Amino acid sequence: MNRWILAVVLAAFGALTLAAVARHGVVGIFDHQLHSLAGLQVLADLGIALALVLAWLWRDARRSGRNPWPWLLLTLAAGSFGPLLYLLSAPRQALLNAGPAADGT
């Protein structure tokens, strides 16, 4: 994956997050989601997706000799910022080899 794509996604997501926090506050970002079944569904979907990403991140970090804990904690605290920064900070060769492993794991 190209680092510039990751950097653009991170910058755009960061700007969106900053604007949302400035307008609604940290609690306000979640407040709207808690008032309807549709909002709760979105939060549940986000939780499931991030759990899957955490499992992948843990496994990938261990396989590549990186400490997974900072990335796991950042993901739990700040959502998608954790995996995006994990990928951006990966050694160049790891990014080139990103994708399903040859042995199917």
Q: Tens of pLDDT along the chain (105 residues)?
A: 699 999 999 999 999 999 999 999 999 988 888 999 999 999 999 999 999 999 999 999 999 999 999 999 999 999 999 999 999 999 876 555 555 554 455
Instruction: Return the pLDDT at 89.
Output: 95
Contacts of 17 by beta carbon, 8 Å cutoff, 6+ apart:
81
Which residue from 65, 31, 36, 72 is spatially nearest to 51, judged by alpha carbons?
A: 72
Which residue from 73, 91, 90 is spatially nearest to 82, judged by alpha carbons?
A: 73
DSSP character at residue 33: G
Report the interhelical angle of 81-88 vs 37-63 (nearest 10°). Answer: 30
Instruction: Return the pLDDT at 102.
Output: 43
Token duo for residue 9? 């996604």
